[in-house]
Structure 1
Amino acid sequence: MTSVTDTTQSLLGALAGLRVVDLTGVVLGPYATQILGDYGADVIKIEPPGGDIMRQAGPMKHLGMGHIFINTNRNKRSVVLDLRQAEQREALLALCDTADVLTYNIRPASMARLGLSFEALHARNPRLVVCGAYGYSEGGPYSDWPAYDDLIQGAACIPWLMTQSGSHEPRYVPATFADRVTGLHMVHAVLAAVIARYRTGVGQHVEVPMFECLLQFVLGEHLGGETWQPPIAPMGHSRMLAANRKPYATQDGHICALMYTDKHWQSFLRLIGQPELFTTDPRFGTQSQRIAHIDALYGFVGEHMRTRTSAQWLQDLAQHDIPVMPMMKLDDLLTDPHLTATEGWLDIPHPHEGLLRQLRPPVRMTNTPTGVWRPAPTLGQHTQEVLREIGR
């Protein structure tokens, strides 16, 4: 693994010179602002005296430095401010006077009660981009409802879709899927607003609602026949919902394989000694026929996959240019040969936590590198440093 910790290198990042005041907590907002920090932005994380709640999510070596916090808050400086106190709220406003972006993930009414409405912030710094990420867009009956990842997954039909694709009961995706999907939308929304400000000289308020962002992902496939008015077919995408769309069981494990094109299917049928099926079985001849019979086709492949070991199938399918991949377990990633070859893992020395394992930022640029400039901060680590920078 490669070790990277040089804060001066952040000055080479694509977003060097962009200052982000980050009021977000938990996962959604911190994930987004970490990405901005990976691109070189100066991200100043404002935390209440008790800190971001994710500091307490174990495992951890030291109180307040839980693993999820560490893995979602690198490349940031931590400043502790109690925004219920007038003097400390004024310090935040003074910091916003120097900033390009302010991010938050509480409801706008709560921001207004703190004296931090967009109107108040815009009056002080007309160039400030203010980005709010919260559960539901303003103006609807859900607008004031609390929102967490599980709830938004439910609202966007994901547990129900699990039952339609063969699960015995509704299930959430076992990751903070809604938070991180919305976080990615938050990143590009902030950057779009900053680019617009370069043209107009004026900042704006940006709304990034979890519900609507996740629906963009889900309905990209599952709007189906309702794409047309009047509808021409039911909602849902048959390939995504096929009960047999899952890793294939082999003699000794599982693999992931996909026979998608005509060439893939012809190659697979030759491999199993039944090439004639491509022309004699109406399920195999065209893409549209295969989609119409997709669950049966997955079942057909599954029967044959049980006849060989995973290693045999990985070799045979690859030799026939059929897309295939092992079904990885979490531990496999630690020794994955691709991540090793591409230096995907980094060793990050932390002054409080010791040596940390981090994934390298996935996006790489030739002239403005991404990187891990700072490990996740301890609570309030940079309070005095940042306040001195604004003369307080």
Structure 2
Amino acid sequence: MSNPIRLLEGIRVVSLEQYIGAPYCTGLLADAGAEVIKVEAPGAGDPRRSYDPLRRDAEGTLSGGFASYNRGKRSVELDLKTDEGRAGLDRLLETADVLVSNLRPGSLPRFGLGRDEVRERFPRLVVCELSGFGQTGPYAAWPAFDSVIQAMSGLSSMLGESPESPPGLAPMATMDLLGGVYAALGILAALVGRQRTGVGVHIDASMYDIGAAFLERPLTLHEFTGDVPTRGRDRFSPVGSFRARDGWVALVIPTDEMWRRCCEAIGRPELATDPRLDTVLKRAERMPDLVTDVLEEWAADLTKEEAARILRDGGQPAGVVQSIAEVRADPHLAARGLFQPVDDPRAVNPDGTTLSLPRLPLLFDGTAPVPGPIPALGADTDDLLGEERS
């Protein structure tokens, strides 16, 4: 692809970050061209530097759990428990546009960076604090990881085979990543607003708020109907997967017209007027014991790709259920350059190929942001703070 557009070039972000939420936020900003300075504790740095999977060779050690969220950044070691460390942070903030933190609520005031102090000393600075439950409210001091927010936001109550099955957890850090995306959105909005006002703002980003807002559909249904959505099938339209010869196909049939097209595509046009299936709600109720059976009988001798293609050709949205390996090898994603090689000598696979990770999943004027190298702990300390430290 051609050279990427670096839309945030010239924006300096200082981040007191660890684990996933804030690093994912600033990783997105770095992909878009911002200079991100990651402030880490001396010695070990971000705990994810030691997370599996680890790759060790002559070039050093690289953590996959760290690489995913920290490419394209600079690393500075500062002990913020000391006067010298806090002075170094202040020096970085003198030229910064954004300060991001996912440390515990109350941490910034301890570093002399409460809201009033920031407005007096760094009036143009945009500050974003991302935490489990926000800086205010009854739960503000509670520690939280992704699984806690999945549970409390209601997401876990929606994941599972039936209301009787145990609540589920999404296997990826869903709420951490959502928190990072919303924090990045808030930062961009604040930077645009600063162009008009000349003043930065403080963003209080709560993963709990974000998680609850993410469940807007079941919350809206509850608000309108009084019902409490729970685990199991969707009661408002047929949605789910059916088995083909070599795998699974997923589809949703939210309208009568889509149902008619589906029936035509599978050679069962009479089902479009079957009184057992003549409304969306009836089809949703019958999805497990009738709709799925009909589709699986039709697809028994078809591959999942063939079944999905026939449905798509008939105007019915459908897609195959892909494994992670199939996603990584998908030709469509390859054509769009989603997976970009990591610019790091440690990032070499056993077969000699370069490790590739997903970039910021947006194209700007048809060009893809290219992630930068993964910083070694403290690699940029002397460059950024050399004069003060000398």
TM over 0.5: yes
Note closer, same or farther for the CA distance 1:159–1:298 as it changes in structure 2 (3 Å cut).
same
Matched, 1:190 2:187: yes
Deviations, residues 341-387 of structure 1 (Å, cap 9, x unaligned)? 223222233134443212232111129x5522522211111111122
**Highest RCO, 1 vs 2 (Cα 8 Å, sep ≥ 6):** 1
**2:227 equivalent among 200, 224, 234:** 234
Q: Secondary structure at the match of 1:206?
A: strand
Q: Name the CA distance, whole Å, in 2 between partners of 1:280 and 1:381.
A: 68
Q: 1:184: how far off?
A: 0.8
Structural mapping, 1:1-392, within 5 Å: 12-49=5-42, 50-62=44-56, 65-163=62-160, 165=162, 168-218=165-215, 220-228=216-224, 232-236=225-229, 240=234, 245-281=239-275, 283-284=277-278, 289-291=279-281, 293-297=283-287, 299-307=289-297, 308=300, 309=302, 310-354=304-348, 355-366=354-365, 370-388=368-386
- Post-superposition CA distance 1:33-55 (Å, at most 9, x none): 01111111111010111110111
Task: Name the aligned partner's letter for residue 377 of structure 1.
Answer: P
Which AA in structure 2 matches 1:21? V
Task: Report how far residue 226 of structure 1 moved.
Answer: 4.2
1:244–1:299 CA distance, 2 compared to 1 (3 A)? farther
- Structure 1 stretch 128-137 or stretch 241-250: which is displaced more? 241-250
Task: Give the equivalent residue in structure 1 for 2:351.
Answer: none
Task: Render the CA deviation track for 1:250-274: whole Å, top value 9, x for unaligned.
Answer: 2332111233333321122234443
Compare 64-73 and 350-359 and name the one that shifted more. Answer: 350-359
Work out the CA distance in 2 between the residues paired with 1:361 and 1:389.
34
Cα distance in 2 for residues equivalent to 1:61 and 1:249: 38
**Separation in 2 of the partners of 1:254 and 1:79?**
47
Q: Which runs of 5+ in 2 are unaligned?
A: 349-353
Whole-Å separation in 2 of the counterparts to 1:327 and 1:190: 35
Deviations 1:287-326 (A, max 9, x none): xx31354131354231023222324413422331221211
Task: Give the number of equivalent residue pairs.
Answer: 376
Following the alignment from structure 1 to structure 2, what is the Cα–Cα distance between the partners of residues 236 and 292? 18
Query: Measured at CA, do residues 164 and 256 of structure 1 come closer, stay the same or move farther in structure 2, by a change above 3 Å?
Result: closer
CA deviation digits over 1:117-149, x for unaligned, max 9? Answer: 232233221111111000113332111100110
Identity of aligned residues (%): 31
Question: What one-letter code is carried by the residue in structure 2 that aligns with 1:384?
Answer: D
Q: Which runs of 5+ in 1 are unaligned?
A: none
Name the CA distance, whole Å, in 2 between partners of 1:118 and 1:356. Answer: 41
Structure-2 change in CA distance of 1:38 and 1:299 (3 Å)? farther
Greater shift, 68-77 or 274-283, is seen at 274-283
User: What CA RMSD, in Å, does the superposition of the two structures yield over aligned residues?
Assistant: 2.7
Deviates more, 1:150-159 or 1:102-111: 102-111
How many angstroms apart in 2 are the aligned matches of 1:376 and 1:242?
46
Give the SS at the match of 1:207: strand
